[in-house]
Chain A
Amino acid sequence: SQKIEQNSEALNIQEGKTATLTCNYTNYSPAYLQWYRQDPGRGPVFLLLIRENEKEKRKERLKVTFDTTLKQSLFHITASQPADSATYLCALDLYAGNNRKLIWGLGTSLAVNP
Chain B
Amino acid sequence: GAGVSQTPSNKVTEKGKYVELRCDPISGHTALYWYRQSLGQGPEFLIYFQGTGAADDSGLPNDRFFAVRPEGSVSTLKIQRTERGDSAVYLCASSRLTGNTGELFFGEGSRLTVL
> Which residues of A come within 8 Å of B, CB atoms?
31-32, 34, 36, 41-46, 49, 51, 89, 91, 93, 95, 98-107
The 7 closest A-B pairs by CB, nearest first: A104-B42, A43-B106, A101-B45, A46-B103, A93-B101, A100-B101, A95-B100
Are A43 and B101 in contact, with the CB atoms below 8 A? no
Residues of chain A lying within 8 A (CB to CB) of residue B41: 106
Q: Taking the complex as formed, is B86 at the interface, i.e. its CB lies under 8 A from any CB of chain A? A: no
Tell me how far the C-beta of A45 lies from the nearest C-beta in chain B, rounded to whole angstroms. 7
Contacting A at CB under 8 A, from B38-69, are: 40-45, 48, 50, 55-56, 58-59
Q: Which residue of A lies closest to B41 (CB)?
A: A106
Q: Is the interface of B mostly helix, strand, loop or mixed?
A: loop
Q: How many of chain B's residues touch chain A, expressed as a range? A: 20 to 34
| Distance between Cα atoms of A95 and B100 in the complex (Å) | 6
Can you name 19 A-B residue pairings with CB atoms under 8 Å? Answer: A31-B100, A41-B108, A43-B93, A43-B109, A44-B91, A46-B104, A89-B43, A91-B42, A93-B101, A95-B99, A95-B101, A98-B50, A98-B55, A98-B56, A100-B31, A100-B56, A101-B33, A102-B101, A106-B42
Contact indicator A42/B104 (Cβ below 8 Å):
no
> Once bound together, how far apart are the Cα atoms of A51 and B91, in whole Å?
25
Question: In whole Å, how far is B100's beta carbon from the nearest beta carbon of chain A?
Answer: 5
